[in-house]
Amino acid sequence: MEKTQLDSVVAELEGVLLKNSDPFSYFMLVAFEASGLIRFALLLMLWPVIRFLDVMGFENVGFKLMIFVAFAGVRESEIESVARAVLPKFYMDDIDMEAWKVFSSYEKRVVVTETPRVMVERFVKEHLRADEVIGSELVVNRFGFSTGFIKNDTRSISDRVAKLFVDETPSLGLGRPTATGSSFMSLCKDQMHPPFITNQEHDHQVLRPLPVIFHDGRLVKRPTPSTALLILLWMPFGILLAIIRLTLGTILPMWAFPHISRLFGGKVIVKGKPPPPVSSSNPGVLFVCSHRTLMDPIILSTVLGRKIPAVTYSISRLSEMIAPIPTVRLTRVREVDSEKIKRQLAKGDLVVCPEGTTCREPFLLRFSALFAELTDRIVPVAMNYRVAFFHATTARGWKGLDPIFFFMNPRPIYEVTFLNQLPMEATCSSGKSPHDVANYVQKILAATLGFECTNFTRKDKYRVLAGNDGTVSYISFVDQIKNVVSTFKPFIH
């Protein structure tokens, strides 16, 4: 049957569009990212109780208990921040592509969920291209804090769906046959239940979900009960391990880093041939790196066996203080920054990350062309890393904890790939524009890493994740102390 503009679909989120029917791990994410470790641990301890209530037929009571523990006393703005910056990545990883193929083939799309609407609305509308979301609503007091309760809506989900389709009947309903949230299915002309089987021949014509390029949060894996327990058990050992690694990195010479790294579980994989050290016959080069974490310049220096100064902008003062390499802080004033980089290049090698910020996903942000204007001695370096528990970058949190979270991972792995120095005909000396050179370097680094080039910038990332443009101003020592206190405050709530 040929579809018309009136074709519409109503789909359940949990267990249909998402493979996992249990939303517990997403509430765990909210607990950890919006509140802290204590609430995270408390919700995990209550998981057996929640499961027992489910088994005894009191699913609604267990669900409300989960909502209360995750949200009570948390600012509404903080919940929205987590829903904007953290949850979409984990939701996207859980998408059932067969269900998505059916869902996306309809003109009007409505998603029904049992979870609070604020958790899923941004992901569902921006990435799944849904028109409407029907979910529960949190009760927020006049001070902007969630009470942990949900509003008592006397209308059933079926009634709320019917209100959206006043003069028409939904063409298709996608839902689980036994789920309480699937009461809307009787309103639909046709019904489908998982598993879904679609025509594989037309996969190339399917509209794809909008990918998650930017995401925040410290947890690498979705905290299912077993993963969350593992994280909690590892936490004290991870903190001790991070302190040892950081202390040794501060006091030991650079040549000892590779040996110490292997001894304490780290691993660095090196590919390609690095250029020789600076000498009278061999002037310094500019290492142009893809930017994954703040550790990129340090790992590069470790591989080269010498301290290479790094251009920085947004790292914290604490990170600068404990960094084992010299740092050159930029101002984002083009003329001032040009002079700083030129002076440093006159002394020898220098490291720069033209993306201006980190990106966790397999994408490269747009490269600033400033580096191409200042030198023709350019060596591209592809950097990538793998960690098991904690991300070492943040847009919403305090960046001073970035190195600590990185070294808390049991076995952090870095991959460093040196590409050949750019030939003169690929630089500005041959008449190419700085933008052409920057785009070329971005392209070859992306090809080496198997990543995709984008035109997104630092400002785009921070607008998505933090609601600002990422501008960094000087923070006084007193304000830094306040940041530390606010970072650990959720741990003592």
What whole-number percentage of the chain has pLDDT above 70? 90
How far apart CA 73 and CA 146 sit, in angstroms, is 5
Nearest to 21 by CA among 12, 9, 10, 32: 12
Confidence of residue 203 (pLDDT cuts 50, 70, 90): low
- 315 or 244, which is more confident: 244
Q: Tabulate helix, strand, coil % of the chain (nearest 5).
A: 45, 15, 40
Yes or no: say if 484 and 395 are a contact pair by the CB < 8 Å rule: no
Please give the pLDDT value at position 472: 53
Q: Which two tokens stand for residue 131?
A: 């028109």
Which helix (H) or strand (E) element contains residue 94? none
Which helix (H) or strand (E) element contains residue 51? helix 47-55
Q: Over the stretch 2-37, which tens digit does the pLDDT of each residue have?
A: 444 448 999 999 999 999 999 999 999 999 999 999
Beta strands in 230-335 (DSSP E): 267-271, 286-289, 310-312, 327-329
Burial of 271 (0-12, 13-18, 19+ CB in 10 A): exposed
Yes or no: say if 205 and 14 are a contact pair by the CB < 8 Å rule: no
Yes or no: say if 363 and 454 are a contact pair by the CB < 8 Å rule: yes
Please give the pLDDT value at position 386: 95
How far apart CA 429 and CA 372 sit, in angstroms, is 10
Which range among 362-366, 404-408, 470-474 shows the weakest confidence by mean pLDDT?
470-474
Q: Does pLDDT of 215 surpass 70? A: yes
Confidence of residue 179 (pLDDT cuts 50, 70, 90): low
Which range among 91-100, 354-363, 466-475 shows the weakest confidence by mean pLDDT?
466-475
Q: Does pLDDT of 283 surpass 90? A: no
Confidence of residue 204 (pLDDT cuts 50, 70, 90): low
Please give the pLDDT value at position 182: 59
Q: Over the stretch 347-394, which tens digit does the pLDDT of each residue have?
A: 889 999 999 899 999 999 999 999 999 999 999 999 999 999 999 999
- 323 or 86, which is more confident: 86
Residue with tokens 């209308």: 155
Q: Mutual orientation of helices 76-85 and 117-126 as an angle, nearest 10°?
A: 30
Q: Does pLDDT of 206 surpass 70? A: no
- 164 or 63, which is more confident: 63
Q: Which two tokens stand for residue 431?
A: 């008449």
Q: Over the stretch 106-156, which tens digit does the pLDDT of each residue have?
A: 999 999 999 999 999 999 999 999 999 999 999 999 999 999 999 887 577
Residue with tokens 């057996």: 48
Q: Read out DSSP for 144-157?
A: SBEEEEE---SS-H
Burial of 118 (0-12, 13-18, 19+ CB in 10 A): buried
**Arithmetic mean of pLDDT over the chain:** 88
